[in-house]
Amino acid sequence: MKRELNEIDSKKVGTKDKKITEQFFENVTGLPKFMLDWIEKNSNDLITVWDENGKVCFISKSIERLFGYSTTDLRGSLWYEKISPDDVSYIKSHFDNHTSIGQTFNINIRNKSGKYIWTECIIAKIKDENSDDSYFISTIKDISDKKEAEEMMIRSEKMSIAGQLAAGIAHEIRNPLTSIKGFLQLLQAGVNRKEEYYKIMIDEIEKMETITSELLFVSKPMTDNKRVERVDDMIHDVIALLNPQARLKNIDIEWKQKVYPSIYCDRSQIKQVFINLLKNATEAMDEGGKIELKVHQNAAQVIIDFIDEGPGIPEEIIHKLGEPFFTTKQNGTGLGLMITNQILEKHEAKLEIIKNEIKGSTFRIRVKEHTE
């Protein structure tokens, strides 16, 4: 197998290239040429082979159907030329150069029209046993339909959250409005404490502004823009949004900040994770009580705990949480935790679900701390 790969590389610009490629795959698979031709014609996956210098030695005909290029357009080019720069950096930093086991990446590849297509790419390294030469083989699958479906589910879940929070938000806004109305009536009556009343009214307006801004955030599509963010800033925003719903259920959200770590993340996505977990904790507590948020650091990790006083989750179903449409709530969809896990996976973070010794559950996020 390695010998044929060397032959492909050495003759990739010659007239015998096609024949050598066919012979290579026939030798590897043991299948006759007419079967290989059928697979090549009908396969939905793209197969590529490149050498240690990154030059493409072989690319399957499905490139024409999936991305609009001809095989001759790309043969001899570099493997990363049509991949988005961010994905190239990600692959280079996460691909293990020493393993022959396939590694999976979700990447954007630019088609001939200039549009980026979401794909799932599996890359494996093959080393020639008789020399130091190495080659890389990848299979690439178009997953744009899957991505669109996931984004639709996320939008649906976000709008569902916004609707569920509406009652608490309306209650929280009505109180400041009543207060502002009363002070305006006093000012109309000619009272002399104008400066004091103005200050109170501005404070009440700022409260409403904070809540409505966070509600609008929930409704917006999630971005994909990573940078360094402070964890306490994001938690503060989420508590402002969820406090009204918690108060309606006689729940106190307690958060005592002792450390101030930063993480490299997409702010909108991580805030969505916090919203999902805090909302789940609130909905689990029908008899009121306390939700405690704790942030601490351990071995270059930031650990964020959401500790509730609900009925707890039976240990036999903890492993099922996060599966699509599996939920313990009567009117739940099961998508919230699935979306949470997907976001955390993109951030190389992890969610742990722990049954508390006395009462309730702890949802723990572990994420790498950003250090200068």
* pLDDT for residue 26: 53
CA distance 4 to 16: 13
DSSP H/E element including 128: none
- pLDDT at residue 318 greater than cutoff 60: no
Q: Which residue would you say has higher pLDDT here, 293 or 177?
A: 293
Token readout for 369 is 């701390």
Flag the least confident range among 92-96, 109-113, 331-335: 331-335
Work out the percent of the chain whose per-residue pLDDT is above 90: 12
- Report the Cα–Cα distance between both ends of the chain, in Å, rounded: 46
* pLDDT for residue 156: 66
* pLDDT for residue 19: 52
What are the pLDDT digits (tens) for 73-92? 887 888 888 888 888 888 88
**What is residue 284's DSSP assignment?**
H
Flag the least confident range among 178-182, 222-226, 252-256: 222-226
pTM of this prediction exceeds 0.85: no
* pLDDT for residue 64: 84
CA distance 149 to 339: 12
CA distance 147 to 117: 10
* pLDDT for residue 326: 42
Asked if residues 342 and 150 have their Cβ atoms less than 8 Å apart, the reply is yes
Averaged pLDDT for residues 208-236: 76
* pLDDT for residue 343: 84
* pLDDT for residue 160: 66
* pLDDT for residue 258: 82
**What is residue 83's DSSP assignment?**
B
Instruction: Tell the burial category of 96 from Cβ atoms under 10 Å away from its Cβ (0-12, 13-18, 19+).
Output: exposed
248 Cβ neighbours under 8 A, 6+ residues apart: 167, 168, 171
**What is residue 221's DSSP assignment?**
P
CA distance 153 to 49: 35
* pLDDT for residue 307: 93
**Residue 364: pLDDT band with limits 50, 70, 90:** very high
Domains parsed from the chain with CATH numbers? 2-142 (3.30.450.20), 147-368 (3.30.565.10)
**Residue 366: pLDDT band with limits 50, 70, 90:** very high
CA distance 161 to 218: 8
The listed range with the strongest mean pLDDT (23-27, 176-180, 331-335) is 176-180
CA distance 107 to 313: 36
Angle between helices 231-248 and 267-284 (to 10 degrees): 30
**What is residue 121's DSSP assignment?**
E
CA distance 145 to 148: 5
CA distance 138 to 95: 12
Asked if residues 83 and 74 have their Cβ atoms less than 8 Å apart, the reply is no
CA dihedral angle for residue 269, residue 272, residue 277, residue 278, rounded to 10 degrees: 140
- Say which amino acid occupies 148: E
Flag the least confident range among 180-194, 222-236, 275-289, 319-333: 319-333
- pLDDT at residue 15 greater than cutoff 60: no
The listed range with the strongest mean pLDDT (19-28, 47-56, 195-204, 289-298) is 289-298
Q: For all residues of the chain together, what is the average pLDDT?
A: 76
* pLDDT for residue 317: 55
Averaged pLDDT for residues 126-143: 78
What are the pLDDT digits (tens) for 172-216? 677 778 778 887 877 777 777 777 778 878 877 877 776 776 666
**Residue 116: pLDDT band with limits 50, 70, 90:** confident
CA distance 306 to 284: 12
* Angle at CA of residue 297, ends 291 and 300, nearest 5°: 145
Token readout for 237 is 């925003």
CA distance 242 to 275: 8
**Residue 7: pLDDT band with limits 50, 70, 90:** very low
